[in-house]
Copies of this chain bind each other. A is one copy, B any other.
Amino acid sequence: MVTGMEFVKGGVCAAKGFKAAGIHCGIRKNKTKKDLALIVSEKRAAAACVYTRNLVKGAPIGVTRAHVADGYAQAIVCNSGIANTCAADGMETANGMCNIAAQALGIAQEDIVVASTGVIGPSLPLTPIRAHIGELAAALSPSGSEDAAEAIMTTDTVKKEAAVSFQADGVECRIGGIAKGSGMIHPNMATMLVFVTTDCAISQEMLQRALSRDVVDSFNMVSIDGDTSTNDMVAVLANGMAENPKITEEGPAYTAFCQALAAVTRSLCRMLAADGEGATKLLDCTVSGAPDTATAKTAAKSVICSSLVKTAMFGADANWGRVLCALGYCGAPLDVNKIDVSFKSAAGEVAVCKNGAGIPFDEDSAKKILSEDDIQILIDLHSGDAGAQAWGCDLTYDYVKINGDYRT
């Protein structure tokens, strides 16, 4: 942790001037499941977003992109249950959702970030949203982060929130966020739904720069199942209410902001991977000794994405051959005869492969190490100084169960 930075409570409402709420409005049949979230800034905020690279995009993506084109937004409205993707009336519905939220909040429709997550295909009904928006707006509270985090969950089993405080030019600022995402998460795009808020004063240009740089090493290095979703986005709102001197260029304050953002996004990444659909274990793959960062990233992602590595980890089986196999087909030109592999967890560390070949190890202690729920796969390519980290999870019976009949 960087000096002057510390984790704080409050999630997406940790920063000054932000309120949130989450309720059940009726998009989902299950009345105990919240399905509509609202996050609002007291003041209009600088806004930065990254979006899915899937060619099939949810209608909310297009609407949000248009709304933040001017660099500003003031509220985020998001439903779970239906993705509003591939539906004939998608754009109309996404615009309607913004209109309903804007009227309830008394702000401009163009200052709304809209997002949806859930089943692809069906039309998203506006009636339950219209009927309950008053209730949702009335519920807005500086302690509403948990409810909002809950309302955006789909197959997630836990709410995901993180926040830190940090110093920018001697002024205390806060940044925090919530996330959802459990399946359909894969590198090479802005995956899942992540909403981050900060009271730090920062220009829209520097905010977008910080976010675009951050996702490359954070959310783009998470993979649950290799599927890249149609709807996901990461949105950051910065309302400046901490009253630090506005960050408009690179320098110590910008660096502090980026470090704080990274602390929040890395925390959310680990939570997302650990809560992968059906997952029992977080896999954290660190590649070192790579000739360049691109090679390190490609290698780390390939290991995290391998179904055979993932099932071996589920079985606490130190089948390092599958790790080497995944490195071999990753596409980067590795010298496989230099690769070392070890597994590490709270129960210890075991080296299993040296110079691309197996070495004797104690199976019992390897089993013990791999029976923990937070596993590190450490790979040294011995071919340079670059490194990368990727996060994933094991592949289990429950992944199959959850996805075998998601719609019913």
> Which A residues fall within an 8 A CB radius of B?
53-57, 83, 85-88, 119-122, 183-184, 186, 189, 225-230, 305-308, 311-312, 314-315, 317, 319-322, 324-329, 333-334, 336, 353, 356-358, 395-397, 399-408
Q: B120 and A322: CB pair below 8 A?
A: yes
Write 17 A-B pairs (CB below 8 A) sorted by A numbering: A55-B329, A55-B333, A86-B324, A86-B357, A119-B321, A120-B321, A184-B325, A226-B226, A227-B307, A227-B329, A230-B321, A307-B403, A311-B399, A311-B404, A317-B404, A317-B408, A319-B406
Known contacts: A324-B86, A324-B120, A406-B312. The answer to whether A53 contacts B400 by CB under 8 A is no
Q: Which of A122, A183, A186, A328 has the most CB of B within 10 A?
A: A328
- CB pair B228–A329 under 8 Å, yes or no, is yes
For A328, give its contact among B54, B186, B358, B406 (CB under 8 Å).
B54
Measured between C-beta atoms, what is the minimum distance from A60 to chain B in Å?
15
On whether the beta carbons of A358 and B308 are closer than 8 Å, the reply is: no
Which of chain B's residues has its CB closest to A123's CB? Answer: B358
* A306 cross-chain contacts in B, Cβ below 8 A: 226-227
Give Cα distance in the complex from A395 to B227, angstroms: 14
**In the complex, are the beta carbons of A358 and B56 less than 8 A apart?**
no
Whether B86 pairs with A312 at a CB distance below 8 angstroms is: no
A324's nearest neighbour on chain B, judged by CB, is B56
In the complex, are the beta carbons of B328 and A230 less than 8 A apart?
A: yes
Contact indicator B226/A405 (Cβ below 8 Å) = no
Could you tell me if B325 and A358 are in contact, using CB atoms closer than 8 angstroms? Answer: no
B183 touches A403 (CB 8 A): no
Evaluate contact between A404 and B307: CB separation under 8 angstroms.
Answer: no
- Closest residue of B by beta carbon distance from A396: B400
Assembly CA distance A307 to B227 (angstroms) = 7
Residue of B nearest to A355 (CB): B88
Do A328 and B55 touch across chains, with their CB atoms under 8 A apart?
Answer: yes
In the complex, the answer to whether A226 meets B325 with C-beta atoms within 8 Å is no
Contacts A56-B336, A307-B226 given; does A321 touch B85 at CB 8 Å:
yes
Query: CB < 8 Å: which of B121, B315, B358 contacts A358?
Result: B121
> Do residues B356 and A184 form an inter-chain contact, with CB atoms below 8 A?
no
Smallest beta-carbon distance A403→chain B, Å: 3
| Given contact pairs A226-B226, A312-B403, a sample of 5 additional A-B residue pairs in the complex whose CB atoms are under 8 Å apart | A54-B329, A85-B321, A183-B308, A228-B325, A399-B400
Inter-subunit contact A317/B407 (CB<8 Å): yes
A88 to B359, CA, bound (A): 10
In angstroms, Cα B408 to Cα A141, docked, is 54
Closest residue to A404 on the B side, CB-wise? Answer: B315
Q: Is the CB of A53 within 8 A of B184?
A: no
Closest B residue to A228 by CB, please name it.
Answer: B329
* Cβ distance A339 to chain B, nearest Cβ, rounded Å: 9
**B residues near A402, Cβ cutoff 8 Å:** 311
List, in ascending order, chain B residues with CB within 8 A of A404's CB. Answer: 311-312, 314-315, 317
Instruction: Give Cα A403–Cα B312 distance, bound, in whole angstroms.
Output: 6
A295, chain B: closest CB distance, angstroms: 12
